[in-house]
Amino acid sequence: MISVYLPTFAALFNTHSLNNFNKLGLSASILEVLDKIGFETPTPVQEKAIPMLLSNDPTDFIGLAQTGTGKTGAFGLPLIDLIDLNNKATQALIMAPTRELGQQTGQMLTSFSQNNKALNVEVVYGGAAITNQIKALKKPTQIVVATPGRLLDLMKRKAIKLDHVKYVVLDEADEMLNMGFKDDIDEILSHTPEGRVTWLFSATMPSGIRKLVKKYMDAPLEVSINADEKINKDISHKYVITKTSNKIPALKRFLDWQPDMRGIMFCRTKIETQQIADDLGNMGYGVEALHGDLSQGQRDAVMKRFKTRSMQLLIATDVAARGIDVNDLTHVIHHSLPDQLDSYTHRSGRTARAGKKGISLAFINPRESRRIAELEKRIKVKFERIEVPSVDELKSSRINNWANLIVNTRVDDQAEVILNKLDSRFAHLSKEDILRRLITTQLDHLMIQGGEDLNETDGRSSEPSRKQDSSGFNRYFVNVGIIDGMTKADLIHFLSDVSNINRKFFGQLTIQKNCAYFDVDSSQDKGISQKFEGVEIEGRSIRVNRDDDDSKRSTPRPFHKKTESRSTPPSMHFGRGGKKKDFNRGRKVRR
């Protein structure tokens, strides 16, 4: 028997229907188990499918319903009642597109059959040791849950026989076809008896599924739940229009604005997925990547952390995320809209589970507005255009969250002792002075994003974009970088203090090993290079030049490796007037 983690089952069976499971024809043994694990009311697909499958045995069957509507119970509960416990052969084969979905299905079946000790369920999938699965299948196994690729491997090794299979379940059939399993399915079904029946469950009915139905099914009964509703009504569909190069800065603003956000962001490629996860992770955001280049062990570790809420956002490809079933996701984010519009339904369906609300948020560039119109027409929902939060909105949100945290924090017993030791350090400051300084520290990381508007028009409107044109900023080079122990916040402080330019007029800043590039509002940067003449860092002259002024920029002086640690930023020696700013203490002193 199997044992894997699965979120609470009851959430998948919550509905407002008035029918109970005891009216569907299930055995007393199954009803006792359902009562024990807290299932009282079937979902619509279960309410329709279970009596149909039990009273028309054997029959081919098609169940059309969206992901998260209880399809596993719709076929799993009647299947357990139909299995002959006195027959030790494999009688039912359930094919699933991914390991994760297979595990979840196996766990549900095991839970449902806990009163039937003679029933054995095994789950087999790629990415795990095949020798262990071969050993497990040597035991009498009436139900096998499998991914197609691993099942074919086991068949070739003669580790499993399908000649007594009476029931074949194709779960998430549209997903299996999208993943390229059609030939595998054909090969597997050719080894099953002609008299077996096929139960097909799918969220959509594309032409490939219709061909499967025509080839393998005979006058199938059909249940369609909300066929005219392509998507969950509890999902709010939103989009923002921004340049492709601004999608990640825009995402950062949403993450800062909504720290309780928990979701999945979908990307097109494995390389893009990993790059975005690395970039955001290096900035301190709780994100990880999930894609096909990860080993199974790495995938399992990522999913475990995601399910235990150890990260805010999972960055995933469509293929890698198939079969993921995680409760309480607030958002599904589309870094790019999928090529196949039906895939949008699968993506967005991972939020708003079990009657909860969720948001599907797409980042599009100005040329993609027509695709939003296509989606609205295809899935019959209305998209709301929203704006990327401004820096002022982020500041307000951050300060409110910070203030609530302070007000609700329980005072530690040692706080009084530490306060007495520090009292003299703050004696010259009023309460308002201290609060102003604390607020400033909270805002520092937002200031380096610049105050630019990341929103764009949809490419069809004659109304000019609210975003300041890039010509409104000038790009500069400075020979200070990471090797100096500088953070972006430190560098913005330094540049602002020397140039006397308010930090709000600085735009994008990119810091490298021994230099950095930064944007300054062109209305504020007059004479900025001259203001850094005579300024030194530990005896090294600081140079600031326009990034397009190649004739004036010289190669940065090489750095000699020192034995002392550079864990804190150096002091800045201002050549004019001998002033020094110590960034460790945040105050100016005379030399």
Is residue 459 over pLDDT 60?
A: no
The domain that holds 86 is classified in CATH as: 3.40.50.300
Is residue 556 over pLDDT 60?
A: no
The residue from 390, 406, 434 where one domain ends is 390
Is residue 159 over pLDDT 90?
A: yes
- Check whether residue 82 and residue 198 sit in a common domain: yes
Query: pLDDT at position 503, please?
Result: 83
Is residue 563 over pLDDT 50?
A: no
Q: Is residue 552 part of a domain?
A: yes
Q: Residue 327's Cα: distance from chain center in Å? A: 13
* Domains held by the chain: number: 4
- Check whether residue 205 and residue 311 sit in a common domain: no
Q: Is residue 72 part of a domain?
A: yes
Is residue 464 over pLDDT 50?
A: no
pLDDT digits (tens, 9 = 90+) for 419-435: 888 888 888 999 999 88
| % of the chain exceeding 70 in pLDDT | 84
- Check whether residue 213 and residue 335 sit in a common domain: no
Q: Which pairing describes strands 92-95 and 143-146: parallel, antiparallel, or unpaired?
A: parallel
Query: pLDDT at position 582, please?
Result: 44
Q: Is residue 513 part of a domain?
A: yes
- Check whether residue 209 and residue 296 sit in a common domain: no
- Check whether residue 136 and residue 167 sit in a common domain: yes
User: What's the rounded Cα separation, in Å, for the pair 113 and 119?
Assistant: 7
pLDDT digits (tens, 9 = 90+) for 479-527: 988 777 777 778 888 898 899 998 888 888 888 878 888 889 888 999 9
How confident is residue 137, by pLDDT bands cut at 50, 70 and 90?
A: very high
Query: pLDDT at position 451, please?
Result: 63
User: What's the rounded Cα separation, in Å, for the pair 71 and 478?
Assistant: 60
User: What's the rounded Cα separation, in Å, for the pair 98 and 146?
Assistant: 9
Query: pLDDT at position 589, please?
Result: 29
How confident is residue 231, by pLDDT bands cut at 50, 70 and 90?
A: low
The DSSP string of 410-468 is PPPTTHHHHHHHHGGGSTTS-HHHHHHHHHHHHHHHHHTT-S-------SS-SSPPSSP
Q: Is residue 547 part of a domain?
A: yes
User: 101 and 319 in contact (C-beta within 8 Å)?
Assistant: no
Is residue 577 over pLDDT 60?
A: no
Q: Is residue 4 part of a domain?
A: no
Looking at residues 534-539, what average pLDDT do you find?
82
Is residue 308 over pLDDT 80?
A: yes
Q: Residue 366's Cα: distance from chain center in Å? A: 24
Is residue 59 over pLDDT 80?
A: yes
- Check whether residue 117 and residue 67 sit in a common domain: yes
Output b/e per residue, 460-488; b: 16+ Cβ within 10 A. Answer: eeeeeeebeeeeebbbbbbbbbbebebeb
Query: pLDDT at position 122, please?
Result: 98
Looking at residues 118-122, what average pLDDT do you find?
96
- Check whether residue 522 and residue 533 sit in a common domain: yes
- Check whether residue 206 and residue 258 sit in a common domain: no
Q: Is residue 454 part of a domain?
A: no
User: What's the rounded Cα separation, in Å, for the pair 283 and 221?
Assistant: 54
The residue from 360, 390, 420 where one domain ends is 390
Output b/e per residue, 515-536; b: 16+ Cβ within 10 A. Answer: bbebbbbeebbeebbebbeebe
User: What's the rounded Cα separation, in Å, for the pair 113 and 76?
Assistant: 10
* Higher per-residue confidence, 443 vs 115: 115
- Check whether residue 86 and residue 171 sit in a common domain: yes
Is residue 461 over pLDDT 70?
A: no
Average pLDDT, the chain: 83
Query: Which of 580, 220, 255, 298 shows the shortest CA–CA distance to 449?
Result: 255
- Check whether residue 303 and residue 375 sit in a common domain: yes
Q: Which domain holds residue 136?
A: 9-224
* Higher per-residue confidence, 483 vs 555: 483
Q: How many CA atoms lie within 13 A of 545 on its CB side?
A: 14
Query: pLDDT at position 145, please?
Result: 98
- Check whether residue 113 and residue 203 sit in a common domain: yes
* Higher per-residue confidence, 342 vs 149: 149
Looking at residues 251-278, what average pLDDT do you find?
92
Is residue 561 over pLDDT 60?
A: no
Q: Radius of gyration of the chain from Cα atoms?
A: 30
Query: pLDDT at position 536, please?
Result: 83
How confident is residue 550, by pLDDT bands cut at 50, 70 and 90?
A: very low
How confident is residue 135, by pLDDT bands cut at 50, 70 and 90?
A: very high
> Which of 110-119, 243-252, 259-268, 449-458 is the least confident region?
449-458
The domain that holds 584 is classified in CATH as: 3.30.70.330
- Check whether residue 111 and residue 207 sit in a common domain: yes
> Which of 127-131, 187-191, 396-400 is the least confident region?
396-400
Is residue 470 over pLDDT 80?
A: no
The residue from 194, 224, 254 where one domain ends is 224
Looking at residues 176-205, what average pLDDT do you find?
93
Looking at residues 239-261, what average pLDDT do you find?
91
Query: pLDDT at position 567, please?
Result: 39
Q: How many CA atoms lie within 13 A of 180 on its CB side?
A: 2
Q: Which residues pair with 541 in a beta bridge?
A: 536
Q: Is residue 453 part of a domain?
A: no
* Higher per-residue confidence, 490 vs 79: 79
User: 318 and 311 in contact (C-beta within 8 Å)?
Assistant: no
Angle between helices 148-156 and 182-189 (to 10 degrees): 40
How confident is residue 446, by pLDDT bands cut at 50, 70 and 90?
A: low
Looking at residues 442-464, what average pLDDT do you find?
62
Q: Is residue 360 part of a domain?
A: yes
Helix (H) or strand (E) holding 496, with range, is helix 488-499
Which DSSP category does 353 fall into?
A: -
